[in-house]
């Protein structure tokens, strides 16, 4: 497998006030034709979410989502009403099948 190095300071930035995000690959409003994806990997984001804020309920399809809070805790609720709190130091892995 080919090794590809992307330094942290070369990532795309997004600042939505309550959410500051660094994108390794093209994602949302960040586009770099050389960073579309890497094999099956599509997104590696570092998200900094303001306390008490977050994403509204939204669906996911055909993806693995790994969340690792580096500080604070992260409440997560999916579009089916399942929810939990991911504590600092925990790792949450969600496997979402293809929706047909």
Whether 43 has a pLDDT exceeding 80, the answer reads: yes
Helix, strand, coil % in the chain, rounded to nearest 5: 5, 35, 60
Residue, of 33 and 2, whose pLDDT is higher: 33
Residue 80: what pLDDT?
Answer: 74
In this prediction, residue 44 has a pLDDT band, given cuts at 50, 70 and 90, of: confident
In this prediction, residue 4 has a pLDDT band, given cuts at 50, 70 and 90, of: confident
| Angle 44-50-60 from CA coordinates, rounded to 5° | 45
């Amino acid at each position: 497998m080919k090794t590809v190095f992307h330094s942290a300071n070369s990532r795309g930035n997004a600042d939505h006030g309550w959410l500051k995000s660094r994108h390794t690959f093209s994602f949302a409003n960040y586009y770099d034709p050389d960073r579309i994806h890497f094999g099956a990997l599509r997104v590696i984001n570092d998200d900094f979410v303001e306390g008490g804020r977050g994403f509204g309920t939204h669906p996911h399809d055909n993806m693995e989502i790994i969340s690792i809070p580096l500080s604070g805790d992260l409440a997560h609720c999916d579009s089916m009403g399942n929810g939990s709190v991911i504590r600092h130091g925990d790792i949450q892995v969600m496997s979402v099948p293809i929706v047909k």
